[in-house]
Amino acid sequence: MKAYRCGYVLVTIWLIWMFYGYNTYNDVDETKMFQILGITVLGLILFPLYFVGVYLYGVLMRRKT
């Protein structure tokens, strides 16, 4: 499914950005660290919802046919 591939790419980019941000947290100021933490929390909430939604949409489409 294309939706899963898109999700995997987004999760990979999110993980790389998140770990890069945490590895360089000594070099960033307070506002950048707040952004890193905010993106981390958003990713932890939104990505599981996205994948569950795609799965449920696929199940619904299979039941209709």
1, 54 Cβ separation under 8 angstroms: yes
**pLDDT for 52-61, tens place per residue?**
999 999 899 9
**pLDDT for 1-52, tens place per residue?**
688 888 889 899 988 888 887 787 777 788 888 888 888 899 899 999 999 9
CA dihedral 22, 24, 28, 34 (to 10 degrees): -10
Distance of CA 4 to the CA centre of its chain: 12
Minimal CA–CA distance to 49: which of 6, 7, 1, 2? 7
**Residue 14 has what pLDDT?**
87
**Residue 1 has what pLDDT?**
64
3-state secondary structure of 19: helix
Q: Domain-by-domain residue ranges, the chain?
A: 2-64
